[in-house]
A = this chain, B = another copy of it.
């Protein structure tokens, strides 16, 4: 879809929202906005799309209290700002929106902190079914990088750029833009997509030429991945029909990184269909690898143990694989980093570990 048409569609949805308040007023009703309840107990598995989405429970923002009325007022001012921004083809960050509200003529409409403005933008995403990216709201965090046999065209403010993610970039790779929907995939020679948590491991794979030898697109997650990184991963899977595998440290926080790629997060379950790649498989580091490869480890801390126990009850981690691995980890009381594979030599990861695991998984 051309970006002009997309902008106009997003703008219309926002205006529709404001119009609804107007109609409620005109009809003598107290204006209100209904939203799904955003808690762990209200996410359900959607069999069709294969991702976790919000369930049926809703809560209502109504102008029948001063607090509620103020919330709707802020929503209207924000809608006004976003609609203008789309009209002018501009963009801004969540943080700028928060500060910008100080310039609004009605003091009651100004945000008291950034949590409030962030939350409101998420509410508007849910109600309008338009993503933040399509509102032209940029994140603070920048996306990560790609390296591999992919040729793409990026629509920038300064014209189109055609970039091959091996031949036209330095060792740092191709920097994913804030809104990867400005990218068109032109051509590729990719067999599978490998998402990597740490920069050290990403550099190891690139130095060892793993992307060239196995026709891999290496996606650097840079810790908890930005929305832009998750979005492009999903598009690579859906549009190019590519297997996606995720390679992280072997600890509960890293399983959450995998979870955010594969299942989406509770906070943004309304975006699961846009951001999550439910077919993404977990390569490791598995607790089983700690045992099998006798990796150097650190003991689990109390907060690690708590996080693992919380994952055992998390609906997203109910598979046999995860239950087994998490129970094994609690049992051995240890965690290991991806780079611990270096204890077997710098090439162990690309010569032995990944080829073995990926063969087991049927990816290569």
Contacts and interface: CB of A to CB of B under 8 A. Distances in A.
Interface of A: 90-93, 95-97, 99-100, 102-103, 138-143, 145, 154, 156-158, 161, 163, 166-178, 182-183, 198-200, 203-204, 207, 209, 212, 220, 222, 296, 337, 339-346
Contacts of A198: 140
Give the number of times this chain occurs in the complex, counting copies. 2
Given A170-B163, A339-B93, A344 B103 contact: yes
Contact of A145 (B138, B175, B209): B175
A89 B203 CA distance: 15
Given A93-B203, A142-B172, A342-B100, A158 B166 contact: yes
A225 to B, nearest CB: 14
B161 A170 contact: yes
B200 A171 contact: no
Contact of A102 (B102, B142, B343): B343
Given A142-B199, A171-B157, A346-B92, A99 B207 contact: no
A70 to B, nearest CB: 19
A343 B168 contact: no
A199 B145 CA distance: 15
Given A96-B204, A163-B168, A172-B176, 16 more contacts: A92-B204, A93-B200, A95-B337, A96-B346, A99-B342, A99-B343, A100-B343, A103-B344, A103-B345, A140-B198, A141-B199, A161-B169, A168-B168, A169-B175, A172-B177, A172-B178
A203 B178 CA distance: 9
Given A170-B161, A200-B96, A296 B102 contact: yes
Contacts of A345: 100, 103
